[in-house]
Amino acid sequence: MKDQGIIGTTGKLTALAFLMFGFGYLLVPIYNVFCDLTGINGKTGTITQEQAISAGVDEQRLVTVEFDTNVNGDLPWYFRPKTHKLQVHPGEVSDVLFVVENQAGREIAGQAIPSVAPSQASLYFNKTECFCFTQQTLAPHERKEMLVRFIVDKKLPEEISTLTLSYTFFMAPGEKQTAIDDKENKLQQEI
């Protein structure tokens, strides 16, 4: 009788663990959909070049777009915009270049995560081309320029005259363990 209680409890705990894992696994995609729908967290949209051109340009208005870059502490990369500020007409297609350099002696993959401030402006900031769409892999000490092509929607509220596009580069998921292994190997060699 006592064994059946333990088996029942073990089964319930195992099921609970699977449910928690499933929830954790689905949390990021659910959060991304929520952010895309509401514009919360400054996530930007994407559109095609044809959609951007067909919308037309508001020649009467200028919006200042500032560029901010960050690198997560685990990633040994240098990352900066070539232009720190750009004035654009809503509806026009604009390009800006970013420079990234791998300062490590090994190949590393990274992923850039964008955000826009103020957050309500993210609903009106769309990219047609961006290095953030895919992981970037850099060879040891490789330096390259990366393009972002964007459009500020003409429907951007009039009270918003300046917005900031910010990118943070993170080490790609598989790279984190490699970095930990490299540190452990280096420590063992020193001992």
3-state secondary structure 161-182: CEEEEEEEEEECHHHHHHHHHH
Which residue, among 44, 19, 3, 37, has the nearest Cα to 151 in the 3D structure? 44
pLDDT class of 52 with cuts at 50, 70, 90: low
Is it the case that residue 79 has pLDDT exceeding 60?
Answer: yes
Structural contact between residues 127 and 45, judged by C-beta atoms closer than 8 angstroms: yes
pTM of the model: 0.67
Beta strands in 74-176 (DSSP E): 77-81, 85-88, 93-102, 108-117, 125-130, 136-138, 143-152, 162-171
Residue 64 pLDDT exceeds 60 = yes
pLDDT exceeds cutoff 60 at 2: no
Tokens of 160: 């918003």
Percent of the chain with pLDDT over 90: 57
Q: What is the mean predicted confidence (pLDDT) over 83-98?
A: 96
Return all residues near 100 (Cβ < 8 A) that are at least 6 apart: 77, 78, 79, 110, 131, 136, 138, 143, 144, 146, 169
Higher pLDDT, 57 or 97: 97
Q: What is the pLDDT of residue 19?
A: 72
What pLDDT, on the 0 to 100 scale, is given for residue 116?
94
pLDDT tier at 159, thresholds 50, 70, 90: very high
pLDDT one-digit tens code per residue, 93-148: 999 999 999 999 999 999 999 999 999 999 999 999 999 999 999 999 999 999 99
Amino acid identity, residue 162?
Answer: T
**pLDDT above 80 for 31:** no
pLDDT of residue 173: 86
Q: Which residue has the tokens 């514009």?
A: 39
**Cβ 150 vs Cβ 52: under 8 Å:** no
How confident is the model over 78-86, as a mean pLDDT? Answer: 96
Question: Residue 39: is its pLDDT beyond 80?
Answer: no
The residue-averaged pLDDT of 61-89 equals 96
